[in-house]
Structure 1
């Protein structure tokens, strides 16, 4: 766990690795903040954990911490790769000070609660790889303009992405919605997310073309929209994406030729484009790329 968890008297970091749940609270000098959560509570799923937690949300820290002390202000909730079950409780909206919530790789069910909309400080939201019920993309996320890291891979999401809502994510750096059942036109507003570094959307059914303005994403490292239904050509000036490390657009219906400007991106490690209708020859600039390790056409 990051030592920054202990820099203030009211910031709490709940951290769970694959073997234990711990909570950290700094009450003052001389107190070791590391305590095994299982020594404080017996809980078997996420709901019982929250029941224990919210029972004491209004308490003030005692002079000396005891085993019944719970977190007053949670800044981080990190519980990926455990065996959490049941739904995420709607009471999670009470965590108004949380800025990181990570419950990936568990067995959570139900739907993602909309009460997260109350968490105005939330920057990192990771709920990938759970057993959620099929549901539309959570509309409350569109209003969370402060998000920088959104990971919803394999969350049984369907429906379309709201373009204007996507355009609200001006701070977004990592967006992962892979392996869902999202449909409809690929939102052109993606091209306005100029701070994004990783765009991972493969395994959906997006239609339409890549917006020409996507080349404005000059900070992008990973572009992965494979296994969809995109059509049309690759932008001629794709070479403007000078920080691109990996491009995966396989299994679409792209047409035209491979732009020679793609060969000007010297950072490229992987170009994967099979399963499209791309024709023509491979530009010499691509075969000369110094760092290219994977070329699949």
Structure 2
């Protein structure tokens, strides 16, 4: 028996939430995952997370754990609800996260197996005050119960070298390590050392007719002139990007990992129910 983990890349604003609401039920039906995790740091208008959206992810979509990243604090209300949000994880080494217990969760899968989710953030090309990520992950691993063999790490970073580095660092000690933040899915899923499932970036869930999820015109304007026009999520060409990993709950070893990219327009005829905006 293995435990199936479905990990979803950065959800971008309302378009990403709509794509998630329509295609996740189909993914559940097809793969029967025991655990579903998504990165939610861009879920509210492309920047941050609100309590309403957190509740939507957990209560309506059945997401088991939500990881974050450099935009975790962009919506001020998160400071009031995050301490009570049992399925929300913040990046352990980010300059404005000072509680290690906010950076990991030990939860139960629907089949009753314990699993841990850890969130880290990169330093290269990110905030210069982000701290070393090796020290906190070591400290977190020491706090995890011995019986919790399924250990999942979302490394939210810009540099592929850091993402691959943390994969090798956690090889044999984590069941699954994947990158987020780049918003582009990488084609390097593999099992490191015969134990740790790995991919450099899941890609995003949202509009790919864009510049990493943002309306193309505004992004190009900033690149060409430096003018900081308001960034808003694009709306077209929605993709759901995710990996499916199979993990042995007795040992924590990943025994299989698959990459998936579902385009909404190609999949929508398989969806039951209405097609109204979420």
Q: If the length of structure 2 is used for normalisation, what is the TM-score? A: 0.29
Which has more radius of gyration? 1
Choose between structure 1 and 2 for higher RCO, CA contacts under 8 A separated by at least 6 residues: 2
Which structure has the highest helix share of the two? 2
